[in-house]
């Protein structure tokens, strides 16, 4: 019987205990216990024998989460300092009663489909902080292709996110074999179905993928932005930062890939994409009660 239980927070010895995971399932391979792991801050799914795992104490978990929060806060401050999101500033100024403009902001709407309920909740909180309208759905990666078309028809978003957990099998040397990835095939299929709903890359902007996902095939399938060019881990909030940049860039402007990638936490090793038109629109005038 395994010494671990589902819900335990662990680290892998073979990777220098660099990433913390939650145990989500325990299976038997003969006498060997294999634990299914999902990152608590990164969108990675992995399997490991219990002999490779170290149970983490409360202090270690708190320190890890604190360091992750520092990274997020730093990125938010960095983006705010660039002063490039006029729509967001208008929303904030209206709420503080300091807005003299008769324009009102209309950033892009997001449909965020996530295989992880905890990550989804964190992403929706971040969208709210950015004043972005977002609909969130917690759907297992394997079920996303079957649900995405109907959800697009119902919610009619400007931006679609298909994410959750993924992982590339260690020791495999063929990055072009889809069977070497945990969930990339589901993200790829989901993107293809979404493109049947809306083929135009500017009318519907798509971000797809998670940690170590099959980046090239996601782009070929129709994603505007995807992970992971160098098969690295991506942060759980990276999709939100991609959406923020697109949602608050005017429709008259075409974003270069690096414009969007530089707004993420992970950066160019983890996120890549195509030239894409922004989704922000100015409205005029304000209704009287909005002045």
Kindly list the domain boundaries of the chain, sorted by start residue.
1-81, 93-283
Among 37-41, 171-175, 255-259, 267-271, name the one with the lowest average pLDDT.
171-175
Q: Of 4-8, 104-108, 133-137, which one has max mean pLDDT?
A: 133-137
Fold of 1-81: SH3 type barrels. (2.30.30)
Averaged pLDDT for residues 279-285: 91
Averaged pLDDT for residues 148-161: 98
d(CA 224, CA 221): 9
- Identify the pLDDT of residue 271: 97
Averaged pLDDT for residues 73-93: 59
Superfamily of domain 93-283: Response regulator (3.40.50.2300)
pLDDT digits (tens, 9 = 90+) for 179-232: 999 999 999 999 999 999 999 999 999 999 999 999 999 999 999 999 999 999
Q: Taking the model in full, what pTM does it have?
A: 0.86
- Identify the pLDDT of residue 75: 78
Percent of the chain whose predicted confidence (pLDDT) is above 90: 70
More confident residue, 66 or 88: 66
Compute the C-alpha angle 118/227/229, nearest 5°: 145
The alpha-carbon radius of gyration of the chain (Å, integer) is: 20
Task: Return the structure tokens found at 161.
Answer: 């996110």
d(CA 220, CA 6): 37
DSSP state for residue 168 in the 8-state scheme: B
């Amino acid at each position: 019987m395994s010494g671990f239980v589902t819900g335990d927070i662990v680290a892998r010895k073979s990777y220098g205990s660099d990433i913390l995971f939650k145990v989500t399932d325990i299976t038997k391979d003969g006498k060997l216990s294999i634990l299914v792991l999902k990152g608590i801050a990164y969108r990675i799914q992995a399997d490991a024998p219990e002999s490779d795992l170290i149970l983490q104490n409360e202090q270690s978990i708190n320190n890890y989460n604190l360091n992750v929060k520092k990274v997020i806060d730093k990125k938010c401050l960095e983006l705010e300092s660039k002063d490039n999101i006029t729509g967001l500033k208008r929303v904030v100024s209206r709420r503080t009663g300091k807005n003299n403009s008769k324009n009102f902001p209309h950033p892009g709407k997001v449909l965020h489909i996530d295989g992880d309920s905890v990550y989804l909740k964190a992403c929706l909180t971040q969208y709210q902080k950015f004043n972005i309208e977002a609909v969130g759905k917690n759907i297992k990666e394997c079920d996303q292709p079957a649900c995405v078309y109907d959800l697009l028809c119902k919610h009619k978003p400007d931006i679609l996110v298909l994410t959750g957990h993924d992982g590339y099998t260690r020791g495999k040397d063929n990055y072009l074999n889809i069977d070497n990835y945990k969930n990339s095939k589901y993200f790829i299929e989901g993107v293809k179905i979404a493109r049947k709903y809306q083929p135009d890359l500017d009318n519907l902007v798509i971000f797809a993928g998670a940690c170590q996902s099959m980046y090239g095939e996601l782009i070929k399938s129709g994603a505007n932005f995807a992970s992971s060019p160098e098969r690295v881990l991506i942060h759980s909030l990276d999709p939100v930062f991609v959406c923020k940049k697109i949602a608050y860039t005017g429709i008259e402007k075409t974003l270069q890939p690096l414009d969007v990638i530089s707004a993420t936490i992970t950066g160019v090793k983890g996120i890549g994409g195509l030239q894409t038109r922004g989704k922000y629109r100015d409205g005029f005038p304000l209704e009287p009660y909005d002045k």
